[in-house]
Structure 1
Amino acid sequence: MRRGIELRAARVRHGPLEALHGVELAAPTGAVTVLLGRNGAGRTTVLRALAGTAKLSAGTVVWDGADVTRHAAHARAAAGLCFVPDRQAVFAALRVAEQLRLAAPDGDHRPALDAYPELRPLLDRRAGTLSGGEQRMVAVSRALLSRARVVLVDEPAQGMAPRVAARTYALLRELDAAVVLAEQRLPPGLRTGDGTVLVHELRRGAVVFSGEAGELAEADEAGGAATAG
């Protein structure tokens, strides 16, 4: 696997409280990296630290071997990082077609409509009038169109129908990028043992498991068997 983006001994503070406690994790290019954890575990803070919207109080952000800790969020975006937050991920006042055209480097938004044909009848609608699942389709489409080298998405399938969610994970797996997703649970489409899906599980701002998705499933099964016994 090629280089990607990583945190080294990363700490983030929110006022007097520390949200990340020396987090170490890597998200290589060519794989999907899933950040697992309950609300408050630190998943979103990790994404924001990678994107540059949360400042580190200690540690470093390394991207393709270079220290980008001091690079502002807009500089990381200009260098090819796309961050899709869980809220306010679309421009509510802009029409769907406008948002997709802005995201595509050449203005051609047809690949987004191939990925999500559900958006075709919505092109003239303002994004703020869409349902939550429709807004997520627009937000993920913008990430797909951007041709980013790093794609960070907080709960990509939130509000989507199961079949659309499954398609979304398949699309994200096909990207030639370092893809990092924040999830409360490992989605069915990413429970694979082929080494292309990596997992970092967080609890209370610390990483408690790092490995392949298949290893997490084996650990969960072993834990369940021990509990049953």
Structure 2
Amino acid sequence: MTTISLRRARVRYGPLEALHGITVAAHGPGLTVLLGRNGSGRTTALRALAGAVRLSAGAVVWDGADVTAVPAHERARRGLCLVPERQAVFGSLTVRENLELAAPSYDVALDAYPRLGGLLARRAGTLSGGEQRMLALSRALLARARVVLVDEPAQGMSPAVAARTYELLSGLDACVIVAEQRLPPVLRGRAALVHELRRGAVVFSGEAGEYELRTAAGPTGSSSSA
């Protein structure tokens, strides 16, 4: 089993603090969702786990080891893959070239997203938003990472492709953490861990089913402590 967590993590952007000492944990194989509106800190939390932003306090712990000081490229070498919301593909390269950077054989990617098969010669920068997400996620599938971090994986996708994407992510032999504004319909009733963030603080941690009950109960519903 793989585990990764932020422990009492704080992140500052100049005078502004984006994360206020949050603790969130994820384990795999399995799916964890960081929920929150824009400005909640969910993207910053992903980037902190990946080493793309530095903590001003707290720690990143991966499989029991403190990796706070380990740079992003070394975390990637150890098996961590980050798929950001923007600039997740090499726009000047073709779809084929993007896939070949991840693995010499990319049949798995074309099985996951057959539409990419007809786009292999296209420059990635000319693809639609949804097609670029398919390509970025295909590269993550090919990476065979131990930890996969994805910011808004289904952005720009049709409901059917979005559902397929979550099936693929759920089936990975990895610790998968996704950041979303709201709980994806395909995860309702499924075994997934949820952390909800608001203004840089964790306001709920628990199973997806608990989160649904809390949301249905409205503002008076109870929440779990992180």
Q: Pick the aligned partner of 2:146 from 123, 128, 149.
A: 149
**Cα offset for 1:192?**
2.2
CA contact (8 A) 1:3 1:65 kept: no
Deviations 1:9-60 (A, max 9, x none): 0000000010000110101011100000000000000000000011000000
1:39 partnered with 2:58: no
The match for 2:175 is 178
Q: Provide the C-alpha distance between the structure 1 equivalents of 2:220 and 2:37, rounded to a whole number of angstroms.
A: 23
The match for 1:5 is 4
Q: Pick the aligned partner of 1:159 from 134, 156, 160.
A: 156
Deviations 1:71-113 (A, max 9, x none): 0000000000000000000000111011111112xx1100000
**Cα offset for 1:222?**
1.8
1:218 partnered with 2:210: no
Q: Secondary structure at the match of 1:156?
A: coil
Q: Secondary structure at the match of 1:98?
A: helix
Listed as ranges, the matches of 1:1-229 within 5 Å are 2-104=1-103, 107-193=104-190, 196-223=191-218
Q: Provide the C-alpha distance between the structure 2 equivalents of 1:183 and 1:109, rounded to a whole number of angstroms.
A: 27
Q: CA RMSD in A?
A: 1.2
TM-score (norm 1): 0.94
Q: Secondary structure at the match of 1:134?
A: helix
**Cα offset for 1:221?**
1.5
The match for 2:224 is none
Q: Which amino acid aligns with 2:9?
A: A
- How many residue pairs were aligned? 221
CA contact (8 A) 1:198 1:210 kept: yes
Gaps of 5+ in 2: 222-226
**Cα offset for 1:142?**
0.5
**Cα offset for 1:174?**
0.2
Gaps of 5+ in 1: none
Cα 1:43–1:224 change in 2 (3 A) is closer
Q: Provide the C-alpha distance between the structure 1 equivalents of 2:30 and 2:21, rounded to a whole number of angstroms.
A: 23
Q: Provide the C-alpha distance between the structure 1 equivalents of 2:220 and 2:146, rounded to a whole number of angstroms.
A: 40
**Cα offset for 1:189?**
1.1
